[in-house]
Amino acid sequence: MRGAVRMLGTAARPIATGLRRLSATNGLTIIGWHRVDGDSDGLSTGVDDFRRHLDVLDEWGATVLPLDEAVAGLEAGTLPDRAVALTFDDGYASVLETAWPILLDRGLPATLFAVSRCLTDDLPFAWDVHEPEQARLRLARADELLDAASTGLDIGSHTVSHPWLPRLDADELKRELVDSRVALEELLGRTVTSLAYPTGGWNRTVRAASADAGYRIAITVDRGLNTRRTPHLSLRRAFVPPEPEDLRLILDGGYTMLRPLDSWRRREGPSW
């Protein structure tokens, strides 16, 4: 994590921890990864770093909950102290092959947000096309996702094709949200009511369309603690940097005050 951002988070941590102690109800921290393989570089998290992240959660005293249970507790005001939910975006095979067995061994639940087109399409994501090690960037097949779901991995939607949702017209937006949910429900044989906005792209129009498409939970990449006032269709989440001390800053709320930066960045959209 860049030094200036770490300095801001470190400076804000005492304020955040003080506000947490004064709060009448407990909040929810949602964290995420993309793939767990090789060395920590960009979207990849090394296996050793991933294990260290889980150690930090344990040392911090986190209570890791399934996402839907955590959001229900947030709404009811019944969350335990230091409640955390774990998520993975995009549907890389390494999550099923590497991260999920580690989580199972530790008894920790998680949610994977899958891009439905990728379950039958071998084409890589735009940002992976020029990566030299294509094998480790493989996306999970439908049968692999179904096997993982049968062992307890929660599955949510990450749209049909991973577009920047604020750019789409109303019909395109509806197709991305509805068709992905339907495809996953047909595969899993159960309802799918959670969504992660691709690259965190959302606005009020996208949020309203998500509700119309049948989602009850949707995740952004705006950092910070979720409280009872946080809309369930724009929940805050931070992706985990490799360094354990940065994860501790996230858990302590050191980056909550950086939400204005996240909002500004969200308006720009991705380069691909």
In a domain, 223, yes or no: yes
- Residue 272 pLDDT: 52
Residue 255 inside a domain? The answer is: yes
Say how many domains are in the chain: 1
Instruction: Report which DSSP code applies to 39.
Output: S
Q: Which secondary-structure segment (H or E) carries 85?
A: strand 83-90
272 within some domain = no
Which DSSP category does 116 fall into? G
What Rg do the C-alpha atoms of the chain give, in angstroms? 18
pLDDT top residue among 194 and 23: 194
Given this model, what pLDDT does residue 49 score?
95
- Domain assignment of residue 254, yes or no: yes
Better-predicted residue by pLDDT, 131 or 222: 222
pLDDT tens for 87-109 read 999 999 999 999 999 999 999 99
Contact (Cβ atoms closer than 8 angstroms) between residue 33 and residue 88: yes
Question: What CATH code is carried by the domain that includes residue 99?
Answer: 3.20.20.370
Chain-centre distance for alpha carbon 117: 19
**Residue 264 pLDDT greater than 80, yes or no:** no
Query: Is residue 63 assigned to a domain?
Result: yes
pLDDT at 129 over 90: no
In a domain, 112, yes or no: yes
Q: How long is the chain?
A: 272
Which pLDDT score, from 0 to 100, does residue 237 have? Answer: 96
- Is 267 domain-assigned? no
Domain, as residue range, for 225: 3-262
Per DSSP bridges, beta strands 83-90 and 111-114 are parallel
Provide the token pair at 248. Answer: 């501790």
pLDDT of residue 23 exceeding 60 = no
pLDDT at 22 (0 to 100): 46
In the chain, % of residues over pLDDT 70: 85
pLDDT 10s digits, 156-182: 999 999 999 999 999 999 999 999 999
Give pLDDT, residue 245: 83
Residue 197 is predicted with a pLDDT of: 98
Residue 40 in domain: yes
Q: How confident is the model at residue 263 (pLDDT cuts 50, 70, 90)?
A: low
Distance CA 103, CA 2 (A): 28
